[in-house]
Chains A and B, each alone.
Chain A
Amino acid sequence: MTTATQPAPGGTEQQGLVERHRQLPRFALAGLFAVGAVVGVLASVLTGFNLVLAVIYAVVLGTLSVYVASRSVEGSRKAVDRLVTCVVTTAFAVAMVPLVSLIWTVLGRGLRRLDGEFFNSSMLGVVGEGGGAYHAILGTLIITGLTALISVPIGLLTAIYIVEYGTGRLKKAITFLVDVMTGIPSIVAGLFAFALFAIFFGPGVRLGIMGATALSVLMIPVVVRSSEEVLKLVPNELREAAYALGVPKWRTIVKVVIPTAIAGLATAVTLAIARVIGETAPLLITVGIINGTNLDPIDGRMATLPVFAYYQLTQPGFPPEFAIDRAWTAALILIILVMALNVVARLISRFFAPKTGR
């Protein structure tokens, strides 16, 4: 009685479980989106043109037209999928807006004073036009250098402890607290350094080394976290081979583990420096600002680039426009510094990565 379910000859429509889905071609979706977008732009033109509103109308109507078309042709499940694709893509585009706007604004305003004078004169005796951030750039480099000098050994040793030596509860506690330490607000780190030094030198003390201490509190956990990840990547076989040859543990770490991981460690340190070089709040309350050049971190206030930018913007004096221009140029230099450090970190990890394979 069973009839074989063979495709009917002659090509009539196939019956059965397999259901053929109708699909919208790609260009149709793009076209529909474009049509919706154009309608949206027109709507905003008719109600008085406004760029932001036009974009919002365009995206909403474009998405809607794709959704409706897909729903009528492809069914509701596919339509929801298309809707989500549109929403997610839009969200990504929305997130790009602040980044582009920020870089555009800082470039536009910062380029005005990006000249030689900005790099080789301080603010000593400058009222109004001219002046520069020579003292602040040097101050930032000195304090950041000191910070690295304090944080890198401590951070690396802690990472080595966690990966190579640590056992039991102490290791767990240290790992957890390093994580928690990454979340310390920068201003609290500044207050800590202030409280520490105020006990010994009295209130009102401002020193470059205080700033370095505060920044170290922020930098150490970053160094620990990232170098820990890198050290964990070193294959255990290398360590075991060294032990088997009778090499003591500390020489294994120094001669085998660290050289293998050196590229990653350098990247980690560079990124950590990039993280603290733009910190403003702790320096504001521990180092302060001066107009002249002070290169001695254990003798009085110093100027640093972020604090310099902050004060030039918020207390520009009269006439204000010159100071505000200086502030934007300082902000531009800060961004350039941070980006450069990020690029350097990428390059290190690309070119000095251990050669794999023979």
Chain B
Amino acid sequence: MTTTSAPPEPPRPKRRVGDRIFAGSATGAGILILVVLAGVAAFLVSEAWPAVTAPAGDIPGGDGLTAYIAPLIFGTLLAAVIALVVATPLAVAIALYITYYAPRRLAAGMGYVIDLLAAIPSVVYGFWGIAALAPAMVPFYVWAEEHLSFIPLFAGPASATGRTMLTAGLMLGVMILPIISAISREVFSQAPALHREAALALGATRWEMIKMAVLPYGKSGVIGGAMLGLGRALGETLAIAIVLSASGGITFNLISNSNPSTIAANIALKFPESTGLDVNTLIASGLALFVITLAVNMLARWVVNRRADFSGAN
């Protein structure tokens, strides 16, 4: 006769050394990301501080930090808004074309070609902007000055080189086009097939199907994509530095030679030759840019993620 004794305590899962090291380094890498982001903010603040506390007369321009940065922020926003206005409708149309209009067999290739636009380095866009786009825009500027000068945007005098705010904005639009269209494409192709087929079965034309089933579903994705594009446009540096003929001053006149610069372009142009307090001032302007893009990106991610939570597509 054997008595059944209580089973011994189940063995504690062995914590192997390999597991500890691996889990630790993976977690460490994740935390490093947080540290880097905090570090970016901390180092920028520490290097920008001398400019914040300096007397107004020592800042370039002589009117203090706010007066120095304000036109730059204005220029940054203006260029980015032009880019957004140009690129968003085009990008949505492209996304619709690739997902629902193009011949099935070609669609993937077309998406790849559009993605190539995103791969081209910013400095090459600058080259193209100054060599091809700016001269091509000059006849339009001359025409706009003659016929549209009652609109403040086209007050003129028209630039002879084409290196204007409008050219810069258009170029930025081309650069952010693939970002917006990639995200729009993704959400459009995820629109529930049942909704689409139901619409078609009820006799809707293709456009009515898109209007009823695809666009409402993809709206927040498009908004999020546009805001990501906006974030990219705000931070774009060298393309603007090469193309824009900047001479400061807040103006809505888009076709003249005197434009406000953008924060990023201004840093790229001035930084290599700056010393002392000028460097701190530029870093302070970079901090402003960092805060603006951070806010825009967080908002964009929030919009995109909110869609992902409720869409039921995953």
Q: When the two chains form their complex, are residues B94 and A91 in contact, meaning their CB atoms are under 8 A apart?
A: yes
Cα(A313)–Cα(B210), bound, Å? 46
Residue of B nearest to A216 (CB): B36
A174 neighbours in B (Cβ, 8 Å): 30-31, 33-34
Residue of A nearest to B173 (CB): A98
Q: Which residues of A from 86 to 137 have beta carbons under 8 Å from B? A: 87-89, 91-92, 94-96, 98-99, 101-102, 105-106, 109
A250 neighbours in B (Cβ, 8 Å): 16, 18-19, 21-23
Cα(A68)–Cα(B194), bound, Å? 33
Q: When the two chains form their complex, are residues B208 and A187 in contact, meaning their CB atoms are under 8 A apart?
A: no
Residue of B nearest to A193 (CB): B43
Contact of B271 among A98, A171, A285, A338 (CB under 8 A): A285
Cα(A220)–Cα(B34), bound, Å? 12
Q: When the two chains form their complex, are residues A285 and B26 in contact, meaning their CB atoms are under 8 A apart?
A: no
Q: When the two chains form their complex, are residues A280 and B34 in contact, meaning their CB atoms are under 8 A apart?
A: no
Most chain B beta-carbon contacts within 10 A, residue among A171, A186, A189, A251: A186
A184 neighbours in B (Cβ, 8 Å): 40, 235, 290, 293-294
Any chain A CB within 8 A of the CB of B174?
yes
Q: When the two chains form their complex, are residues A185 and B128 in contact, meaning their CB atoms are under 8 A apart?
A: no
A153 neighbours in B (Cβ, 8 Å): 29
Scoring A residues 75 to 91 as 1 if CB is less than 8 Å from chain B, else 0, what string do you get?
Answer: 00110110011011101
Known contacts A180-B297, A185-B290, A105 near B132 by CB under 8 Å: yes
A87 neighbours in B (Cβ, 8 Å): 93
Q: When the two chains form their complex, are residues A158 and B29 in contact, meaning their CB atoms are under 8 A apart?
A: yes
Q: Which size bracket describes the interface of B in this complex?
A: 35 or more
Most chain A beta-carbon contacts within 10 A, residue among B18, B97, B98: B97
Q: When the two chains form their complex, are residues B26 and A165 in contact, meaning their CB atoms are under 8 A apart?
A: yes
Q: Which residues of A from 302 to 340 have beta carbons under 8 Å from B? A: 306, 309-310, 313-314, 327-328, 331, 334-335, 338-339
Residue of A nearest to B36 (CB): A217
Known contacts A92-B93, A181-B37, A160 near B26 by CB under 8 Å: yes
Known contacts A158-B30, A185-B237, A91 near B272 by CB under 8 Å: no
In angstroms, how far is the closest chain B Cβ from the Cβ of A124?
20
Known contacts A165-B26, A183-B232, A285-B267, A309 near B123 by CB under 8 Å: yes
In angstroms, how far is the closest chain B Cβ from the Cβ of A323?
13
Q: When the two chains form their complex, are residues A187 and B268 in contact, meaning their CB atoms are under 8 A apart?
A: yes
Any chain B CB within 8 A of the CB of A347?
no
A310 neighbours in B (Cβ, 8 Å): 123, 126, 238, 242
B182 neighbours in A (Cβ, 8 Å): none
Q: When the two chains form their complex, are residues A77 and B208 in contact, meaning their CB atoms are under 8 A apart?
A: yes
In angstroms, how far is the closest chain B Cβ from the Cβ of A231?
11
B56 neighbours in A (Cβ, 8 Å): none
Q: When the two chains form their complex, are residues A183 and B231 in contact, meaning their CB atoms are under 8 A apart?
A: yes
B128 neighbours in A (Cβ, 8 Å): 98, 101-102, 105-106
Q: When the two chains form their complex, are residues B120 and A188 in contact, meaning their CB atoms are under 8 A apart?
A: no
Any chain B CB within 8 A of the CB of A233?
no
Most chain B beta-carbon contacts within 10 A, residue among A89, A109, A166, A188: A188
A interface residues, Cβ below 8 angstroms from B? 50, 52, 77-78, 80-81, 84-85, 87-89, 91-92, 94-96, 98-99, 101-102, 105-106, 109, 153-155, 157-158, 160-162, 164-166, 170-171, 173-174, 176-189, 191-192, 194-196, 198-199, 203-204, 217, 220-221, 224, 248-251, 253-254, 274-275, 277-281, 284-285, 288, 306, 309-310, 313-314, 327-328, 331, 334-335, 338-339, 342
Apart from A81-B205, A180-B301, A250-B22, 6 more pairs, CB < 8 Å = A88-B97, A92-B102, A98-B128, A174-B33, A191-B282, A310-B242
Of the A-B pairs whose beta carbons lie under 8 Å apart in the complex, a sample of 5, sorted by A's number, is A180-B37, A221-B33, A250-B23, A281-B268, A328-B127
